[in-house]
Amino acid sequence: MSFESFLTKENFEGYEDPERYKKDWVPRLDKYRADLESAILPEYKITLPEPIEKLQKDQFNPLEYLYEKKLLSDEEKRITELSATELAKEIASGKLKSVTAFKAYARRATICHQFTNCALELFVDEGLERAQMLDEYFEKNGKVIGPLHGVPISLKEQMDYKDKITHGGWVGLLDRIPKKHGATIQILENLGAVFYVRTNQPQTLMHLDSNNNFVGTSRNPFNLGLSSGGSSSGEGSIVAFGGSSLGVGSDIGGSIRAPAAYSGCHGLRPTTRRVALLGGISSGAGQESVVPVAGPMARSLDDIDLFMKHYVNDGNPWQLDQWALPLPWRTVEPPKPESLTIAVMYDDGVVKPTPPIARGLKEVVAKLKNAGAKVIEFKPIRVQEAIDTVNKMYNCDGNYMQKKLLSASGEPLTKLTKWALNYGNGSKDIGVAENRKLNVIRDSLRQEYTDYLNANKVDFILGPAYNNVAPLPEAVYNWSYTALYNILDFPSLSFQTGMFQDPTVDKWGSEHSSYTYRSELEKLELSGYDPELFKGAPIALQLAGRRYFDEELVAAGKTILKVLDVDLLHK
Amino acid sequence: MSFESFLTKENFEGYEDPERYKKDWVPRLDKYRADLESAILPEYKITLPEPIEKLQKDQFNPLEYLYEKKLLSDEEKRITELSATELAKEIASGKLKSVTAFKAYARRATICHQFTNCALELFVDEGLERAQMLDEYFEKNGKVIGPLHGVPISLKEQMDYKDKITHGGWVGLLDRIPKKHGATIQILENLGAVFYVRTNQPQTLMHLDSNNNFVGTSRNPFNLGLSSGGSSSGEGSIVAFGGSSLGVGSDIGGSIRAPAAYSGCHGLRPTTRRVALLGGISSGAGQESVVPVAGPMARSLDDIDLFMKHYVNDGNPWQLDQWALPLPWRTVEPPKPESLTIAVMYDDGVVKPTPPIARGLKEVVAKLKNAGAKVIEFKPIRVQEAIDTVNKMYNCDGNYMQKKLLSASGEPLTKLTKWALNYGNGSKDIGVAENRKLNVIRDSLRQEYTDYLNANKVDFILGPAYNNVAPLPEAVYNWSYTALYNILDFPSLSFQTGMFQDPTVDKWGSEHSSYTYRSELEKLELSGYDPELFKGAPIALQLAGRRYFDEELVAAGKTILKVLDVDLLHK
């Protein structure tokens, strides 16, 4: 079954208008790209070792190259290998200037962009001004303006940024220039963060990948032949590459966890309403069956904790955004491994994991058991039903809003836009009564999973973040491993195992030759797995916990990373 | 314009089936009523001074009668005049037995029922057994089983009660017998409460009144000619009469606050998701545009606080119900009056208040100012739009679920059922895209009100709980004063001012004769105001606060009641 055979044409016919697009929008997109190109400051410009297409074909690893070729000074390397927690501390102690820290990140980010195409907008000059202002404030007052004083943070473009185009991946929104920051950006600015880059995301924001008509796809910092994931695509690349100290993504089906997992960093999808969403663009305004979240991505779980703690407790997002919950972020110490009970989902019953993911999971389980954790097998509960339901929820408005936003420019639809427009009932508005029934199914799922945790005294569910490592560009179809936790609204964390795909090891076992795919989707996802194509891709997993108990989840993640001895900061 | 002229027949045609109803259901309803009648224990049976119809016609005040005729012993009077807080303390100290406390409440409740028709189910025998068990536990263990040990609590029938019919006002659900308690009942039982009465509610639960085909209307304990409000109709009567120490109602448009206000007690509509709703019946399953809440009703705000504190902090509702928030109930001391900034809504622009409410509001404002509070005038923000939107939300499924539940029996539709079926777009399912637009309007309203509070440093909004005191039965049409806070999801509190309607004072002023009604609804609501009909009805008001800051709201309510010198416990 080909990709196309999955699609129903009625679900995306009448969106495109090639003539109007070419006439009204292509020249403006050319200018948009030229502006981005010219925003690369000369001092941070590098000469690529080969043309980018060749590097992509060769599965080039730019992070390795950064280190081998010493593209950073020793001090720049040292600074960009600090956790955000350490960085903030050095700046607050006066040991390090915001400007010095910023310049190191500006270089690393700009190098990252030249390899991975992670940025939609670079404004390093503004970041530098801000860093200078922060240093002046510190000198004058002898204290920081907030707990994130001087920390360089990258932002998914979707969030409203004062006086800057905020298009969310829709060409038709090129004129959308917010008059003020979205609530989360405003809070981070109040806390002292420095902004300088807004990152790539796919058309419609509804891919676990990155293609759009602005700048195309972002690539994986460990293998330029692979995707960086999505929809927080550029955040995956830049955070994993070390081009920012912390990143902010958003997630309605895996859009924080997929890019973090694929690209090689950690990403938290918090429970809904802990991070403000006021001020931003999505096609889901007023959709509350499966609610999007914003959340942090980082190279260290201390930094995820740092972000959430200060964002929630010092940022008080509920004061700006009525929708955010006044639920303080609690300090939770990492538990001892032997106090943990973890249920492992080896296969969700929708798409089984490829060899590197299966290997990663097996090894992590072995190490956890060895460290004393109690590990039981999780028998997936109604996953297919959950995924069918969440897929219907995404577009049960008959794609009304997506159509409106896409048709505004008549822009060409990318492959995975068509895929997601095809979800559920496609272009059919199912009506309110049917939508309510979906919500009832959702609530029964949430209750059943909660009852499972209670009855079995399970603390967390461990499993894949996706059925594969980073996929080839525009070839990620299955959202089941991540979207499950969106419909459940369980906090979930993609984390790195420190392991990488190895073509010599990660081959299908002999039993696979007689494996009968359980669905056409599974076949589509798995039949393209050729070990040679995924060389060196990070192996990540996912941990999920109880609704609103995000603090316990992050703390347990720290315990697991300690058991695995993972350090993403130092190469 | 007559009541009927407001209605569109298409919105409720085809629901009724008189023949099937008469054949299949009327005999069962006769039995239901006979069971209720026979559940009145002989020792608590009283002889009414006149036939009930006469008492209703004469605007009889049964609470006054209870005291004048000394229907309670001195000890029963003393016990039932304790706050729940004091009662729990006396029992926990060993000073008072649960059985003694229970019997006093059983008598007062049964008397209340004989006057006001507040109960759908009485099971005093089971309550007594439970109280005996609690006493035995206390004797054996020297401690209480929980902080509500021995506190008699009345329950709106809608909540699932193990092994008891739970019909929610729909005749077609007479066979619905839950196998376990709803989460909130389970929590209260775990905390030590004693149950013995489940109270009346209207057909469909969507009236601010009480008529149904089970037992008809409940009446006001201060004037049997008037309604006790709804939809937590029986809770209003029984709590205000002192027949239970605490009551639990639910509210999606005013259903806690209206009966509390009309009947003469206090009622809190908490912010959503602080009290569990798992296990219960409503027509709104899966409806989340305007989310229902459960909450306490009491004669003292200390008791509202007591309920919320123990329910949330000791009951941990999120462990039973995934939907409930793990947001602890904070201890907040009542603020000094001079620290309060209160914005007063004298008229919401939809229906202006009748003379007793306008008088009550004016006097309360004068006393608050006198006590040092800062009081400013609140210019209503988009109230009509809010009400139009929330009315559409209620039935934007085209009354799908209400029709299903009503048609199951073919039962006759009561007057106010037709009224609510007529809301918004009536029997038209507006579709998901339109529903999402309503949610966007709602969120913009919430944000605008939040921004108003921030910009003006306003702590609370004070106003009417309804445009009148308790209305005549089946004559409450306007929900605007309460439903505003449902769509905003602001916690809101109906509280008694200690004042009562006085026909000699509460007449329209001379300016009213030249008043032009702003709408047919306003005319319908106000033209029936004849001072002589509302004799002695309690005058209540409503205080609303910031979303999720329920604790501050209840604390401020205590301050206001102290300023007003209100005591509902002692007559």
- Report the candidate in A248, A312, A323 with the shortest Cα–Cα distance to residue A288: A323
Q: Would you kindly state where each structural domain of chain A is located, as residue ranges?
A: 3-281+289-318+331-564
Q: How confident is the model at residue A2 (pLDDT cuts 50, 70, 90)?
A: confident
At A354, which amino acid appears?
Answer: T
Return phi, psi of residue B444, to 5°: -70, -35
> Nearest residue of B to residue A392 by CA position?
B432
Handedness of CA A249, A482, A281, B273 (dihedral sign): negative
Q: Which residues make beta-bridge pairs with B198?
A: B121, B155
Q: What is the pLDDT of residue B210?
A: 95
Q: What is the dihedral of CA A402, A403, A404, A405, to 10 degrees?
A: 50
Is A3-281+289-318+331-564 CATH 3.90.1300.10? yes
Which of A273, A432, A457, A490 would you mutate first to test chain B, the one with the most B CBs within 10 A?
A: A432
Closest CB from B322, B429, B450 relative to A432: B429
Closest CA to B254 of B274, B239, B232, B285: B232
B83 assigned to active site: no
- Please provide residue B540's backbone torsions phi and psi, each rounded to the nearest 5 degrees: -120, 160
Angle, vertex CA A424, rays to CA A419 and CA A427, nearest 5: 80
Token duo for residue B81: 């005049």
Query: Encoding tokens for residue A502?
Result: 């190895």
Q: Which residues of A touch B186 (CB under 8 A)?
A: none
Q: What is the DSSP code (8-state) at residue A514?
A: G
Q: Judge whether B342 is annotated as a binding position.
A: no
Q: Do B446 and A323 touch (CB under 8 A)?
A: yes
| Cβ within 8 Å, pair B439-A397 | no
The one catalytic residue in A154, A218, A227, A231 is: A231
- Contact criterion met (CB below 8 Å) for B484 and B387: yes
- For the segment B5-48, what is each residue's pLDDT rounded down to a tens digit? 999 999 999 999 999 999 999 999 999 999 999 999 999 999 99
Cβ A321–B429 below 8 Å, yes or no? no
> Which of B508, B497, B501, B510 minimizes the C-alpha distance to B567?
B497
CB contact under 8 A, B548 and A325: yes
H-run or E-run covering B558: helix B550-564
What is the distance of C-alpha A536 from the center of its chain? Answer: 19
Report the residue from A321, A439, A547 with minimal CB separation from B286: A439
pLDDT at residue B528 in the model: 86
- Residue among B477, B509, B491 nearest B358 (CA): B509
The minimum CA-CA distance between A452 and chain B, rounded to whole Å, is 12
DSSP A223: E
Which helix (H) or strand (E) segment holds residue A559: the answer is helix A550-564
Annotated catalytic residue: which of A97, A103, A156, A558? Answer: A156
Question: In chain B, which residues have their Cβ closer than 8 Å to the Cβ of A321?
Answer: 447
> How many Cβ atoms from other residues are within 10 Å of residue A378's Cβ?
20
DSSP state of A22: I
How many C-beta neighbours within 10 Å does residue B41 have?
14
pLDDT score for B2: 84
Helix (H, G, I), strand (E, B) or coil at B428: coil
Q: Cβ of B433 and A401 within 8 Å? A: yes
Nearest residue on chain B to A290, judged by CA atoms? B288
- Give me the DSSP letters along B513-543: GGPPPSSHHHHHHHTT--GGGGTT-EEEEEE
Q: H helices then E strands: how many in chain A?
A: 21, 13
Pairing relationship of beta strands B246-251 and B293-298 according to DSSP bridges? antiparallel
Count Cβ atoms below 10 Å from residue A60 Cβ, excluding itself: 20
- Quote the CA–CA distance of B512 and A172 in Å, as a whole number: 54
Is the Cβ–Cβ distance between A134 and A145 less than 8 Å? yes
Which residues from chain A sit within 8 angstroms of residue B447, using beta carbons? 278, 321-322
Select from B559, B388, B319 the least CA-distant residue to B462.
B559
Which of A285, A431, A438 lies nearest to residue B429, judging by beta carbons?
Answer: A431
% of residues, chain A, pLDDT over 70? 100
Whether residues B547 and A318 touch (CB distance < 8 A) is answered with yes
Q: Verify whether residue A255 is a known catalytic residue.
A: yes
pLDDT tens sequence for chain B (571 residues): 788 899 999 999 999 999 999 999 999 999 999 999 999 999 999 999 999 999 999 999 999 999 999 999 999 999 999 999 999 999 999 999 999 999 999 999 999 999 999 999 999 999 999 999 999 999 999 999 999 999 999 999 999 999 999 999 999 999 999 999 999 999 999 999 999 999 999 999 999 999 999 999 999 999 999 999 999 999 999 999 999 999 999 999 999 999 999 999 999 999 999 999 999 999 999 999 999 999 999 999 999 999 999 999 999 999 999 999 999 999 999 999 999 999 999 999 999 999 999 999 999 999 999 999 999 999 999 999 999 999 999 999 999 999 999 999 999 999 999 999 999 999 999 999 999 999 999 999 999 999 999 999 999 999 999 999 999 999 999 999 999 999 999 999 999 999 999 999 999 999 999 999 999 999 999 998 999 999 999 999 999 999 999 999 999 999 999 999 999 999 8
Q: Which parts of A are annotated binding residues for substrate?
A: 205, 231, 252-255
Of A323, A437, A447, the CB nearest to B443: A323
> Which residues in A lie closer than 8 A to residue B446 (C-beta atoms)?
322-323
Which of A278, A440, A450 lies at the smallest CB-CB distance from B285?
A440
Measured distance CA(A399)–CA(B15) in Å, rounded: 33
Q: Tokens at residue B71, please?
A: 């229907």
Inter-chain contact A447–B278, Cβ cutoff 8 Å?
yes
Q: How far apart are CA B442 and CA B450, in angstroms?
A: 12
> Contact A52/A233 with Cβ under 8 angstroms?
no
Chain B: nearest CA to A229, how far in angstroms?
29
Neighbours of A527 (CB within 10 A): 10
Contact B327 A327 (CB under 8 A): yes
CA–CA gap between residue B151 and residue B244 (Å, rounded): 9
Distance CA B182, CA B248 (A): 12
Judged by CB atoms closer than 8 Å, whether chains meet at A429 and B431 is answered as: yes
- Is B254 annotated as belonging to a binding site? yes
CA distances from B131 to B193, B196, B199, B246 (A): 9, 10, 20, 16
**Alpha carbons within 13 A on the beta-carbon side of A318:** 14
Q: Do B436 and A286 touch (CB under 8 A)?
A: yes
Nearest residue of chain B to residue A441 (CA atoms): B286
Is the pLDDT assigned to residue A77 strictly greater than 90? Answer: yes
Count Cβ–Cβ pairs < 8 Å, chain A vs chain B: 110
Quick check: A325 and B438 CB within 8 A? no
Q: Is B282 annotated as a binding residue?
A: no
A398 CB neighbours in chain B (<8 A) are 431-433
Put simply, the answer to whether A443 touches B323 (Cβ < 8 Å) is yes
* Amino acid code (one letter) for B337: P
Please give the Cα distance from B369 to B376 (Å, whole number).
Answer: 10
Residue A293 has φ and ψ, to the nearest 5°, of -135, 155
Among the listed residues A36, A193, A61, the one whose alpha carbon sits nearest the alpha carbon of residue A117 = A36
Active-site residue flag, B154: no
The Cα A104–Cα A118 span in angstroms is 17
Active-site residue, selected from the candidate residues B98, B154, B228, B231 = B231
B549/A285 Cβ within 8 A: no
Option in A288, A443, A548 nearest B439 (CB): A288
Closest CA–CA distance from residue A437 to any residue of chain B (Å)? 6
Averaged pLDDT for residues A538-544: 98
Furthest-apart CA pair in chain B: how many Å?
71
Omega before B228 within 30 of 0, i.e. cis: no
Is the separation of the CB atoms in B297 and B255 below 8 Å?
Answer: no
Tell me: is residue B230 an annotated ligand-binding position: no
pLDDT at residue number B571 = 82
The residues, ordered by sequence, that sit 6+ positions from B133 with a Cβ below 8 Å of its Cβ are none
**Interval B340-399: pLDDT, tens:** 999 999 999 999 999 999 999 999 999 999 999 999 999 999 999 999 999 999 999 999
Task: Write down how long chain B is.
Answer: 571
- pLDDT beyond 80 at A1: no
Whether A464 and A543 have beta carbons less than 8 Å apart is answered as: no
Substitution target in A281, A316, A322 with the highest count of B β-carbons within 10 Å is A322
Q: Please, which residues bridge with residue A390 across strands?
A: none
Under 8 Å between Cβ of A276 and A252: no
Q: In this structure, how many other beta carbons lie within 10 angstroms of the beta carbon of residue B175? A: 9
pTM equals 0.97
Question: Which residue of chain B is at minimal alpha-carbon distance from A447?
Answer: B322
* Residue B50 backbone phi and psi in degrees, to 5: -150, 165
| Residue of chain A nearest B183, judged by CA positions | A447
Dihedral of the alpha carbons of B408, B409, B410, B413, in degrees to the nearest 10: -100
Q: Does the distance separating the beta carbons of A326 and B549 come in below 8 Å? A: yes
Alpha-carbon span A460 to B478, nearest angstrom: 49
Q: Report the alpha-carbon distance of residue A107 to residue A99 in Å, rounded.
A: 12
Give the pLDDT confidence of A14-56 residue by residue, as tens digits: 999 999 999 999 999 999 999 999 999 999 999 999 999 999 9
Catalytic residue selected from A154, A218, A255, A409: A255
Cis before A231? omega within 30: yes
Neighbours of B554 (CB within 10 A): 28
Q: What is the model's pLDDT at position B152?
A: 98
One of B103, B156, B309, B558 is an active-site residue; which one?
B156
Comparing CB atoms, the residue among A321, A325, A435 nearest residue B432 is A435
